[in-house]
Every structure is written in C-alpha cells, then in structure tokens.
Structure 1
Amino acid sequence: MRYSEQVKPVSYLKAHAADVLRGLAESGAPLVITQNGEARGVLQDVASYEATQKKLALLKLLALGNRDIDAGKLTPAREAIARLRAGKANAAEA
C-alpha cells in the first residue's frame, strides 16, 4: 500500500467525515490528514488500531526477553516447564 495515495486535506475530512470513516472501516488502510499542505495526523479504523497495539505489545515483550538474554538472565527449559507445571498444580488445588 502506498500512503501517498491515502492523503487528504483536513477540509476534505470535515466535509466528508462519514464517507472517510466508512472507507477506513472497509479498507483498513490509514489516512494521512494534511493541514496547509503538511501531514498533521493519521486516521485509522479501530480494528487496525487494536491490531497495531497488540503487535507493539508483542514486540515489547520480545525486546524485554532479548534484554534478559543479553543480561544472562536465562533459565533452562526443563526448569521453566517444571515451574509452570507446579504453578498449574498449585492453581488447581486452590
């Protein structure tokens, strides 16, 4: 997708808000809003926004994991699995 094809001035947004929102929901593509010829904001539908937030959260978890690896904070897989199984057993007893 080319963002250059998804650029509209703020005056277009004001005059066609309902159509813009409908288009966002249908295409899932973000829309760049300009003011005085300069990009000022980006609109996207809620589903795409939520998907983006989930992806960012996953990337953050991966980055934190990589930081732990770099710092030597490692646990052997067998030990981690044993702890998880023990936790499930304790949860089932509660």
Structure 2
Amino acid sequence: MQFSEQVKPISYLKANASKMLNDIGDQQLYVITQNGEAKAVLQSLEEYERTQETLALLKLVAMGKTAIEDGRGEEASQVFARIREGL
C-alpha cells in the first residue's frame, strides 16, 4: 500500500474504525489528520512494541557512546577478563 493511501482524516477513522483495525495487520500504520494536519498514528500493537524495543536499544547505544566519550568506557578484553575471574 502506498503511503498516500495510509493518510486518513479523523472523520474516516470515526466512520471506519472497525475496518481500519481489521486492516492494520496488512499494513504498518495509518496517519490520522485533523483539519488537514497530521495529528496521530494508528498502528498495530505488535508494530508499536517493536518500535519501542528498537528505541530502547538505540537509547542504550547512545548511552554507551556518551560513556565512551566521557572516558567511562573499558576495553572489551578487560571486561571479559573480569568476567572470567568471576566464574
């Protein structure tokens, strides 16, 4: 489905909510507009959960990068050596 077909006015959502929920598995999302402006996104719960997991992983990567830039990082060999000592 083309992105332009995924943009629906709020009036369409009100009149076709059940159909949209049934169709949501066939596509990733709907963009809901109000007064011609994009206001919300309707997506499946499964897709929402995947998006949240991806954002969490990206946040961890960003935190790791910041830690390294601040000098709080360690060489992998040192970390693995500490792990081996604990076993």
| TM-score normalized by the length of structure 2 | 0.86
Structure 1 match to 2:13 = 13
CA RMSD, 1 decimal? 1.7
Paired residue type of 1:83: R
Aligned residue pairs, count: 87
Paired residue type of 2:17: A
How big is the shift at 1:84? Answer: 2.8
Deviating above 3 A after TM superposition, structure 1's stretches of 4 or more consecutive aligned residues are: none
Partner deviation per Cα, 1:6-65 (whole Å, 9 max, x = no partner): 1111111111111101111222x2101111222111111001100000000000000001
Identity %: 51
How big is the shift at 1:74? Answer: 2.0
| C-alpha distance in 2 between matches for 1:52 and 1:6 | 18
Unaligned runs of 5+ in 2: none
Structure 2 match to 1:38 = 37
Structure 1 match to 2:50 = 51
Paired residue type of 1:32: V
Structure 2 match to 1:82 = 81
| C-alpha distance in 2 between matches for 1:26 and 1:2 | 12
| TM-score normalized by the length of structure 1 | 0.80
